[in-house]
Structure 1
């Protein structure tokens, strides 16, 4: 006889456990249970049948896997949580006895720090796993780095997040790993490629943040506590992989004066090992060499650099001559003309390092300094200057420096060129020459900030005249979304997207709209609105007839009735064209009568209108032929395939109509601009 199964000991009742049962089993408080689950990466689960999992459960009951809770029983953090709970009881007892000194001593020396190193190694057994899970970590850490300090978010947490984020940005600058960036309403999106993994994160704009009470900062703080442990491990591995010392030296005083990225001193391990005798290292920060190095230190640094160059040259000489060069990036071309377009690889780090390497930039005070500086330095620029009010660390604070080739401004077009200096300003004991707003320096290129982002996304330097101050900027689109065939593409010109005859048919519609507006002003808006409604109804009716043309013509009964009554059957597209021309003549005659009644001059149709009418007729004939061909193909399909095809056709038609509306809107805007 088989062993009988007891109820509640198998199936979903055994696989799932409620949150209340889990808290009782672990013997910790609910906040500690949430914190432990966040650290370990354990999330609630939803069973297929709630009643089978637990009889007393409702839709608001939270379930977990029983194996996950069993796994938490062996976690070393449980002991630390219990010690903290016992210590909190002792502190509360001391405060109740008015023993304040004992409570302070217990809180200072008795509270043990929770370390998450073993959890990071456990959740990410390989470094690639940590890189794949870095998107959310970077987004949250950059968010906390821009928050104001409050009781929920201490200042030490914000400063630690800022330091880790700047260290990560320095690695991207050193390796030129940044690939794309996009300005959105939420913030600035960045994408970097590290060891073959694409990492994308969001950085909020540096506006004044309002801390609301409907956000649970305790839960977010738990995630931040785990994420900055993770990012610290990742930064250490990244720095050591390219031969840099981690952590980099950090100047607190310079950071307080707004240096940000310039407050860090990046050193190589070879250079650091060569100067272990107490001298200061030789560092390069934004195009300036730090002074104070002795001749011995400088000789050691030059010797190490020369040996590195010689090793690279020897490695290149050992490469056989017959082997082709592989420095350039590979491109994929389709084997056949009808083949699919293969996705091309992105730019390499060498291409990114050369994008802005030949220029010297100056950031005006109204432009966002940190994102522009980060992008410029990540794509090869070594000399970036800005106004002294934006902080320290600039290549130059002098706006009239002749070495500046490009200036980033976000103001209206300047009134006139600057032929003489406009003023002087004393900063740190030095007289700096400044330029008043509305004046420009001759021989310098002025561009708006969007030029940097668009050039980075395109992988090449775009024309600067399109991004000049006061110019209408081109559309800034996401670099990760590529337009498909049939969709409207703002980057392409109208000639590349328009259908045949669409341009010729556009002016006719515009003249009708202008005439309708004139009639509305003279006769009255009510009559025009009625006419518009009637015209719209008529257009809808025509479209419905066109859409169901094949169904009506394909019915045998109706065609026989038409033949028996002696009516003319469909004789081809020429009769349809003649009927359309008759309708156009009647419409033109009606317009002339309305114009005479309104007291306006009658505008006879010229050659342009005849050409437009011909273009419209040609498009209608082509559309009719296409619809007939589609209906003929649908007759050969099964019902299932026909329904699927109709759904696809509906979505495609909807997309085409939307694209045509956008093209006509753009055509009107361009025509208005030309006038």
Structure 2
């Protein structure tokens, strides 16, 4: 007889374990279990059959893989959690005895520190794996970098997130790895390409953030703790790969004055090595004369090395490989047919991105968002950026009237007045700055709105600045990651490029018909009242046409069996007689005389009728083809046809709306 299987020892009951059982097996508290699972990347699982997976009578809602929990039994962090719990009991005991100093000493010096280095190496065995998982890390760290400090979010965590994010931005600026950006309601989306991996993250706007109580910041703080370690590893690897020292020098005083990106100083390994050698030699020297002489020689060597490094960088930037010089720009994909889908174009290279704004000097007005504009401009080659002193320290210039400025980013109404005599303003450094009053412009300078920078970055080229002038209606700012397919409405293209043949004529005809219907409603009421009066006056007398007249109309209406030209002549004569008859009737009844349709309107009506006939023939052909299909293929084809018709109707509505707006704009102009 075969051995019988006991319940709960095989199948789903063995593969899954509840959260309560996992906490008891690991012998830790529930908050520590949550932290450990977040660090190790272990998440709850949903079994196929909850009744079979649950070993208890009560309904359990959270399950984990038994192998994942078995894997956590050998985690070194379990011992750290147990030591922290033991120390917490000692601190509580000291506070209960009113030994405050002992409690502070234990919390400051005896608390075991948790390191997550080994977990980062376990979860990301290769550097490419870390880059692929960097989207969520950057989004969360940039979010915490913009939060205000509270008891749930300490100031140290915010400062650490800000520093790591700025270090990552400096790498993107140095390597020109940033590719696209988009302004949305949620925030600013960025996309960078690092070692062939596309990384996208979201940065919130710098508004006043409200800390709500319905968010568990302990869980988010656990993710932030792990992501800070991960981003530190990634930044170190990225900096060392391009020959920079990590971490870069950070000026705390400059950061407190609002320098942000300018508070960091990047150094190469050669210059840093020379500086360290200088410091070591200065420590070992004891003679004052020899110390001064050695320091000067070392300083000369350091300056020489720095100059050589700059010259090498300049030569590398100036030199163009023969293959690249022969090939020119990146090839673009052109659709083979006008009805074909728009293929995604290749992104910019680092050299092209580094020269987009390299020849310009920008000045950021105080109402414009400084940090995102500065980051974009520096990432795409701009070296000289100035801004108002109110926005912080670290600008190329704070003087708005500096003649070197070529472009100024403003977000104000239209500026039309020339600059009057400027006034000086005292600054803390006893420097007089030229102040420009609002509403005045400086001749010889280009004024643009901030959207011009984003659109130039997404298009990969410099766009027309007159479309982004202060006070101008801006072009549509669309997502650079969504490309319109054939049949969809494209706000970037003109109506003539995307509307079908004759759609504008049909829309105009519908508008005219609506206008005629609305205008003729009042006339119909007057006609009815007039006809009633005539009927009362006529009494029983017959006011209809006589039999002779009707016979004449029948004779005139017969076109005979002549040629086509005779038929067209007869039809035109009939139209003229009918128009003349309508004018006589309208004059007799006191109504306005109807205007005859012009030849252009007749041609449009004829074209519309021809298109409707062709459309009806096409629909009939499709119906005949559907009759030859199987049921499965016919249903699939109907679904496709329904989605295509829905897409076409939506695009037609948007085009009609745009056509009306353009027409209204032309009438106002």
Q: TM-score range by the shorter chain?
A: 0.7 to 0.9
TM-score, normalisation: structure 1: 0.83
| C-alpha distance in 1 between matches for 2:343 and 2:57 | 52
In structure 2, the CA distance between the partners of 1:220 and 1:520, relative to structure 1 (3 Å rule), is: farther
Moved more, 184-193 or 303-312: 303-312
Distance change >3 Å, CA 4–CA 504, structure 1 → 2: same
Of 612, 617, 626, the residue aligned with 1:625 is: 617
Whether the aligned pair in 2 keeps the contact of 1:519 and 1:598 (CA below 8 Å) is no
Q: 1:477 to 1:311 in 2, by over 3 A?
A: closer
Q: Secondary structure at the match of 1:275?
A: helix
Structure 2 partner of 1:487: 488
Is 1:144 equivalent to 2:144 in the alignment?
yes
Larger radius of gyration: 2
CA contact (8 A) 1:504 1:611 kept: no
Partner of residue 614, structure 1: 606
Deviating more after overlay: 16-25 vs 502-511: 502-511
C-alpha change, 1:106 and 1:192, in structure 2 (3 Å) is same
2:307 to 296, 299, 302: 302
State the 1:615 CA deviation: 3.2
C-alpha distance in structure 2 between counterparts of 1:135 and 1:595, whole Å: 77
Per the alignment, in what secondary structure is the counterpart of residue 276 of structure 1? Answer: helix
Please report how far the alpha carbon of residue 333 of structure 1 lies from its aligned counterpart in structure 2 after TM superposition: 6.7
Aligned counterparts of 1:443 and 1:374: Cα–Cα separation in 2: 25
Q: What is the distance in 1 between the residues matched to 2:75 and 2:585?
A: 90
Deviation per residue, 1:468-499 (Å, 9 max, x gap): 11111111100000001100000011011111
| In structure 2, C-alpha distance between the alignment counterparts of 1:638 and 1:393, rounded to whole Å | 71
Higher mean C-alpha displacement, 462-471 vs 137-146: 462-471
- The residue number in structure 2 matching 1:651 is 643
Alignment of 1:16-31 (within 5 A): 16-31=16-31
* Matched-pair contact (CA < 8 Å) for 1:259–1:391: yes
Distance 1:62 1:597, change over 3 A: farther
Does the CA contact (< 8 Å) of 2:14 and 2:66 recur in 1?
yes
- 1:92-171 equivalences in 2 (<5 Å): 92-171=92-171
What do the CA deviations read for 1:151-174 (whole angstroms, capped 9, x no partner)? 100000000000000000000000
Call closer, same or farther: CA 1:7–1:490 in 2, change over 3 Å.
Answer: same
The residue that corresponds to 2:48 in the other structure is: 48
CA apart distance, 1:2? 3.7
Give the unaligned 5+ runs of structure 1.
281-292, 525-581
Alpha-carbon distance in 2 for matches of 1:655, 1:294 = 70
How far did 1:636 drift? 1.1
The count of residues paired between Structure 1 and Structure 2 equals 597
Partner residue, 1:220: 220
User: SS where residue 200 of structure 1 aligns?
Assistant: strand
In 1, the alpha carbon distance for the partners of 2:595 and 2:59 equals 72
Write the distance in 2 (CA, Å) between the matches of 1:593 and 1:510.
27
Q: Deviations over 1:210-232 (max 9, x none)?
A: 11110110100000000000000
1:61 shift after superposition: 1.1
Instruction: For 1:66-85, list aligned pairs within 5 A.
Output: 66-85=66-85
- Paired with 1:634 and 1:364, the residues of 2 have a C-alpha distance of 63
| Residue 497 (structure 1) aligned with residue 491 (structure 2) | no
Alpha-carbon deviation of 1:9? Answer: 0.7
For residues 67 and 522 of structure 1, do their structure 2 counterparts lie closer, same or farther at Cα, with a shift above 3 Å needed? farther
Deviations 1:73-104 (A, max 9, x none): 00000001011111111111111111112211
TM-score (norm 2): 0.83
Alignment CA distance shift 1:624-1:450 (3 Å): same
Change (3 A) 1:632 1:18: same
Cα shift readout 1:146-205 (whole Å, capped 9, x = no counterpart): 000001000000000000000000000000000000000000000000000000000000
- Look up the match of 1:252: 252
C-alpha contact 1:508 1:609 (8 A) present in aligned 2: no
- 8 Å CA contact 2:8–2:55 kept in 1: the answer is no
Q: Which residue of the partner structure matches residue 376 of structure 1? A: 377
1:412, 1:310 → 2: CA distance?
A: 44
Distance in 1 of aligned mates of 2:203 and 2:587 = 60
Q: Using the alignment, how far apart are the partners of 1:505 and 1:521 within structure 2?
A: 25
2:662 corresponds to which residue?
670
Paired position in structure 2 for 1:397: 398
Per-residue deviation, 1:296: 4.7
Counterparts of 2:519 and 2:300 in 1: how far apart (Å)? 85
CA distance in 1, matches of 2:57, 2:595: 78
Residue 637 (structure 1) aligns with: 629
Q: Which residue of 2 aligns with 1:473?
A: 474
Deviation for aligned residue 1:407: 0.6
**C-alpha distance after superposition, 1:363-399 (max 9, x if no partner):** 1111100000000000000011111100011111111
Whole-angstrom CA distance in 2 between matches of 1:5 and 1:593: 101
CA spacing shift, 1:13–1:520, aligned 2, 3 Å? farther
2 CA distance for matches of 1:185 and 1:460?
25
Shift of 1:323: 11
Given the superposition, is the C-alpha separation of residues 257 and 322 from structure 1 closer, same or farther in structure 2, using an over 3 Å criterion? closer
Matches within 5 A, 1:80-91: 80-91=80-91
Q: CA deviation at 1:434?
A: 1.7
Is residue 586–residue 593 contact of structure 2 (8 Å, CA) maintained in 1?
no
- Shift of the alpha carbon at 1:435? 1.1
CA distance in 2, matches of 1:670, 1:20: 65
* Residues 595, 602 of structure 1: 8 Å contact kept: no
The 1:155/1:88 distance shift into structure 2, 3 A limit, reads same
Deviation at 1:423, TM superposition (A): 2.1
CA displacement 1:587-628 (0-9 Å, x = unmatched): xx99x9999999777554334432332232122112112111
Question: Separation in 1 of the partners of 2:589 and 2:372?
Answer: 63
Correspondence 1:269-280 to 2 at 5 A: 269-278=269-278
Instruction: Determine the C-alpha separation between the residues in 2 that align with 1:479 and 1:310.
Output: 34
List alignment gaps of at least 5 residues for structure 2.
281-297, 526-573
Preserved CA contact (<8 Å) 1:398 1:433: yes
Residue matched to 2:364: 363
Aligned-residue CA RMSD (Å): 3.1
Give the secondary structure class of the aligned counterpart of 1:182.
strand
For the residue of structure 1 that corresponds to 2:205, the secondary structure is coil
Look up the SS of the partner of 2:276 in the other structure.
coil
Q: How many Å separate the matches in 1 of 2:646 and 2:629?
A: 23
Question: After alignment, is 359-368 or 615-624 more displaced?
Answer: 615-624
**Distance of 2:335 and 2:70 partners within structure 1:** 54
Mapped to 2, the partners of 1:468 and 1:200 lie a distance apart of 30
Offset at 1:464?
Answer: 0.8
Residues 459/279 of structure 1: CA separation in 2 closer, same or farther (3 Å cut): farther
Name the counterpart of 2:537: none
Cα distance in 2, alignment partners of residues 174 and 11 from structure 1: 55
Q: Once the 2 structures are TM-superposed, how far is the Cα of residue 415 of structure 1 from its aligned partner?
A: 2.9
- Deviates further, 423-432 or 45-54: 423-432
